[in-house]
Amino acid sequence: MNGNKQSSFILKGDVIYSISANEMRTVPSGYVVCVKGKSRGVFEKLPQKYERLPLHDHSGKLIIPGLVDLHIHAPQYAFRGTGMDLELMEWLQQQTFPEESKYADLEYARKAYQIFADSMKKSATTHACIFATRHSQATEVLMDLMEQSGIVSYVGKVNMDREAPDPLRESSADASAADTRQWLAHVNGKYKRTMPILTPRFIPCCTPELLEQLHEIQTIYDLPVQSHLSENPNEVDFVRQLCPKSAFYGDAYDAFGLFGVNHQSGKPVKTIMAHCVYSTEEEIRRMKDNRVFVAHCPASNANLASGIAPIRKYLSLGIPTGLGSDVAGGHTESIFRAICDAVQVSKLYWRLIDQNQSPLTFCEAFFLATKGGGSFFGRAGSFEPDYDFSAVVLDDSLIPHPMKLSLPQRLERAAYGSLDLYGICAKYVSGDLIYEK
Amino acid sequence: MNGNKQSSFILKGDVIYSISANEMRTVPSGYVVCVKGKSRGVFEKLPQKYERLPLHDHSGKLIIPGLVDLHIHAPQYAFRGTGMDLELMEWLQQQTFPEESKYADLEYARKAYQIFADSMKKSATTHACIFATRHSQATEVLMDLMEQSGIVSYVGKVNMDREAPDPLRESSADASAADTRQWLAHVNGKYKRTMPILTPRFIPCCTPELLEQLHEIQTIYDLPVQSHLSENPNEVDFVRQLCPKSAFYGDAYDAFGLFGVNHQSGKPVKTIMAHCVYSTEEEIRRMKDNRVFVAHCPASNANLASGIAPIRKYLSLGIPTGLGSDVAGGHTESIFRAICDAVQVSKLYWRLIDQNQSPLTFCEAFFLATKGGGSFFGRAGSFEPDYDFSAVVLDDSLIPHPMKLSLPQRLERAAYGSLDLYGICAKYVSGDLIYEK
């Protein structure tokens, strides 16, 4: 990222962004104004006071806020799209664990993470919450590369001190915590756009002793938390066996202040839980009370035969929700793809599971991918005033069509047509042009 | 298509193709030999007798048989990827019927079908079964354009004399049949690669009188048949009301010799039925007995909230099955996408509907997309000797990765990574190079 490219400027083009889950604002031939990395809003006619700012003319092209990926595993990017016909346990044993073990080797980590960072840079994603591996040095390499990419991200060194094969399992809760503290001493505050996030892999991989230590670290550094929740029926059963005192899966995190609230300090703990396919009513209530974010990962939940998360329910309850690619349970980093997958599986949910839960609209899914997930980062994922200025410009003339289309139709077709794979012209993050074709 | 480009030649590259549903053959740096439009097989070392043939060197690239789309609606291509959050009836009323009505206008038809034909040419599809609209002249335009594209296709003028809005509904069974006969007089035998196929839209849109006439036409021309079957619970109920004497949905076609067998002549009638999501045991048995092909359209069945077809069951019973994009119920013509969707929804089927039906493997889904569907065209979809020589060359170096991959892994990743959208280097159909990047 080239810091000195950050500036104040105007984008001109066909603008579309979410106001709420049920409302998109469209401004054909509109002006999006960026002043010092923040949006000043979108205008049909350029206000006089901005007339002297340089104008980047993307007339005829689609301009949307950058997309937000609330859940992605950087080390799994290497094997994305392979072994997708395996089931979860085979997949972990044959693909995930052997690959993640390689990141003890910093040379390999650098090579693989460079590919990941380059791909993220070229994608439509501008904000991401990223799992690394348990290796703190490799995680720092990843953070260096993410910072260079220009994307805004939370990156977590993974904690895992049980139920994993030897090279990946940390030797003890103390060792895991010590490594985490050392990692934080290196990376906390080191970057402009890359922030650490506590990342206990999931309850089956973390002893209570480890969770207790992570709680202490959380209290000191006031860090956010990301993990997995209620993804798969067997996993949920296993957690029930491991934590007989927990009322439900999420309660096992909450007991250690790692589920939205630090009970010791009473402070909120920004928390994302990926999947939430099998969350019980009780768990859902706690998520709502504690303002826990749901990272909905529809592709992964299909690929790993997990099921379909009840996203309509989460939206109705006002639980903060966004989308996750979950590479490499998900096979692609494309959040456009996640938007379409979210709509598709919500239709199958309606048909196969519960006809009281209406399918998602495209408008709702686009909201999840932008402003919905973006709120984890503060004011991100929209062009409303004072939002972080992140934008993606798409050349949808590459999708030929015989008739006139509305802006929402053009956006929907761009998403369903995977235009992010070949039609991104420019990408801005926090006021910087980080990629241009 | 340039007929004189057809020749005898050799492709060199990393070859992979299906032998059966459970076996792929891989030949790294292999030679695929084409003699006069037919495959002579794949060789690790080039046999001496072929040494004088010109060699197209695609070393390092993937070479696969062309993909087969058993079900696609050409006029719906215009609105692909829009209105994907509508439900079936809204979608038909708001999108499909208004668009299809436009094809009475030959100028519009030519413009829209040109876009369709160009897109098909650039896709990985080499063989397709295509619905046009009820308009016979526009259907001839489409057939002209498909012939020019070089793709092998069956194209059907649609028959529909009830249950459709006025401009689309044909005025009577006689008028529909007369138009069909006139169309056939023009197009039958006119082309080298483009063949007519009888296309009653589906039972709700066709009176018994019309089906009787189509049966007569089928008998005279010995034509194949394509239609829709048991896609949606409401549709199945409606057919039950419309055809109280039919034992099941497919029986309503079979009564008129349009379901695999001409009962008058005793001859087979090559038949494809799209969807088959809600086929009963009785219907499935008849499909098996009559050798009716299933066109599995997983994206469409999700997009239109239809459900998930029991493809494992069809494979186990030996019912001939292939994949369909079903544009624009499906949002893309990509059969790579259909492969991945087929695996994904089979996992959701296993999880949500029946844990006795194991998910599809990638190998099986690739088979469906090539040799499985290809058998509708005779010997197509493989590089085995005497198969129609159709091939797609893919540059999968465009997908960066840090480690060595096997050929099946490379193919799987190419499919999951939608490489067909941006990584096709060359495409051959029946011995012709029809597209090159």
Q: In this predicted model, what pLDDT tens digit does every residue of A299-313 receive, in sequence order?
A: 999 999 999 999 999
Give, in order, the Cα–Cα distances in Å from A436 to each of A124, A247, A425, B221, B420.
12, 50, 6, 56, 23
Bridge partner list, B128: B69, B153
**What's residue B335's pLDDT?**
98
Tokens of B109: 């038809």
CA distance B162 to A158: 62
Q: In this predicted model, what pLDDT tens digit does every residue of B345-404 receive, in sequence order?
A: 999 999 999 999 999 999 999 999 999 999 999 999 999 999 999 999 999 999 999 999
Q: In this predicted model, what pLDDT tens digit does every residue of A371-391 receive, in sequence order?
A: 999 999 999 999 999 999 999
CA distance A403 to B79: 9
Strand A55-65 with A391-394, pairing: antiparallel
Report CB contact under 8 Å: A401, B115: yes
Q: Please state the rounded mean pLDDT for residues B127-147.
A: 98
Kindly tell me if the per-residue pLDDT of A325 is higher than 70.
yes
**What's residue A6's pLDDT?**
53
Q: B309-325 b/e with 16+ CB inside 10 Å = b? A: bbbbbbbeeebbbbbbb
Tokens of B407: 């050929």
Whether the Cβ atoms of residue A199 and residue A131 lie closer than 8 Å to each other: yes
Minimum Cα–Cα distance from A353: chain B residue: B352
Report CB contact under 8 Å: A361, B302: no
Residues of A in contact with B414 (CB under 8 A): 81
Q: In this predicted model, what pLDDT tens digit does every residue of A183-219 receive, in sequence order?
A: 999 999 999 999 999 999 999 999 999 999 999 999 9
DSSP letter, residue A2: -
Confidence at A43, pLDDT banded by 50, 70, 90? very high
Mean pLDDT over the full length of chain A:
96
Confidence at B11, pLDDT banded by 50, 70, 90? very high
Single-letter code of the amino acid located at B380:
A
Question: Number of Cβ pairs closer than 8 Å across A and B?
Answer: 153
Report CB contact under 8 Å: A348, B302: yes
Minimum Cα–Cα distance from B420: chain A residue: A421
**What's residue B154's pLDDT?**
98
Residues of B in contact with A351 (CB under 8 A): 305-307
Minimum Cα–Cα distance from A355: chain B residue: B305
Kindly tell me if the per-residue pLDDT of A333 is higher than 70.
yes
CA distance A313 to A253: 22
Is the pTM higher than 0.80? The answer reads yes
Single-letter code of the amino acid located at A163:
E
**What's residue A5's pLDDT?**
47
Whether the Cβ atoms of residue B23 and residue B408 lie closer than 8 Å to each other: no
Residues of B in contact with A85 (CB under 8 A): 343, 359-363, 365
**What's residue A4's pLDDT?**
40
Kindly tell me if the per-residue pLDDT of A3 is higher than 80.
no
Report CB contact under 8 Å: A352, B308: yes
**What's residue B189's pLDDT?**
97
CA distance A22 to A41: 19
ipTM above threshold 0.90: yes
Cα separation of the two ends of chain B? 16
CA distance A412 to A363: 9
**What sign results for the dihedral spanned by CA atoms A93, A95, A99, A100?**
negative
Q: In this predicted model, what pLDDT tens digit does every residue of A213-260 receive, in sequence order?
A: 999 999 999 999 999 999 999 999 999 999 999 999 999 999 999 999
Tally of CB atoms within 10 A around B35: 17
**What's residue B200's pLDDT?**
98
Alpha carbon of B61: minimum distance to chain A alpha carbons (Å): 18
CA distance A131 to A138: 12
In chain B, the percentage of residues whose pLDDT exceeds 70 is 99
Torsion angles phi and psi, residue B383, rounded to 5: -100, 10
**What's residue B1's pLDDT?**
38
Minimum Cα–Cα distance from B302: chain A residue: A344
Kindly tell me if the per-residue pLDDT of A1 is higher than 70.
no
Indicate which of A22, A79, A85, A304 best probes the interface with B, i.e. most B CBs within 10 Å of its own CB. Answer: A85
Residues of A in contact with B87 (CB under 8 A): 359
Q: In this predicted model, what pLDDT tens digit does every residue of B419-428 receive, in sequence order?
A: 999 999 999 9
Q: Which residues contact A80 (CB under 8 A, 6 or more apart)?
A: A327, A328, A330, A331, A332, A333, B413, B416, B417
Minimum Cα–Cα distance from A359: chain B residue: B85
Minimum Cα–Cα distance from B360: chain A residue: A85
Q: In this predicted model, what pLDDT tens digit does every residue of A342-365 receive, in sequence order?
A: 999 999 999 999 999 999 999 999
CA distance B15 to B407: 8
Calculate ∠ Cα B213-B215-B219, nearest 5°: 120
**What's residue B203's pLDDT?**
97
Cα pseudo-dihedral B422, B423, B429, B434, rounded to 10: 70
Report CB contact under 8 Å: B344, A422: no
Q: For residue B110, with 0-12 CB atoms within 10 Å meaning exposed, 13-18 middle and 19 or more buried, which class applies?
A: middle
Cβ-defined contacts of A47-53 (< 8 Å, 24+)? A50/A10, A53/A8, A53/A9, A53/A10
Q: SS3 of A292, please? A: coil
Tally of CB atoms within 10 A around B51: 9
Indicate which of B82, B353, B399 best probes the interface with A, i.e. most A CBs within 10 Å of its own CB. Answer: B82
**What sign results for the dihedral spanned by CA atoms B42, B48, B52, B57?**
positive
Single-letter code of the amino acid located at A31:
Y
Mean pLDDT over the full length of chain B:
96
**What's residue A92's pLDDT?**
84
Confidence at B5, pLDDT banded by 50, 70, 90? very low
**What's residue A38's pLDDT?**
97
Q: In this predicted model, what pLDDT tens digit does every residue of A388-401 receive, in sequence order?
A: 999 999 999 999 99
Whether the Cβ atoms of residue B117 and residue B148 lie closer than 8 Å to each other: yes
Q: Please state the rounded mean pLDDT for residues B318-339.
A: 98
Whether the Cβ atoms of residue A321 and residue B279 lie closer than 8 Å to each other: no
Q: Please state the rounded mean pLDDT for residues A95-105.
A: 95
Q: Which residues contact A408 (CB under 8 A, 6 or more apart)?
A: A16, A24, A26, A362, A363
Tokens of B58: 């695609």
Q: Please state the rounded mean pLDDT for residues A264-281.
A: 97
3-state SS of A103-152?
HHCHHHHHHHHHHHHHHHHHCCEEEEEEECCCCHHHHHHHHHHHHHHCCE
Residue A76, Cα to own-chain centre: how many angstroms?
15
CA distance A114 to A117: 5
Q: In this predicted model, what pLDDT tens digit does every residue of B26-48 receive, in sequence order?
A: 999 999 999 999 999 999 999 99
Half-sphere exposure of A320 (CA within 13 A, CB side): 20
Tokens of B386: 């005497």
Q: Which residue among A85, A112, A353 sits closest to B402, beta carbon to beta carbon?
A: A112
Alpha carbon of B272: minimum distance to chain A alpha carbons (Å): 25
Bridge partner list, B87: none
Residue where the block lists tokens 């590259």: B13
Q: In this predicted model, what pLDDT tens digit does every residue of B81-112 receive, in sequence order?
A: 999 887 777 888 888 999 999 999 999 999 99
Q: Please state the rounded mean pLDDT for residues A261-283.
A: 97
Tokens of A372: 């919905």
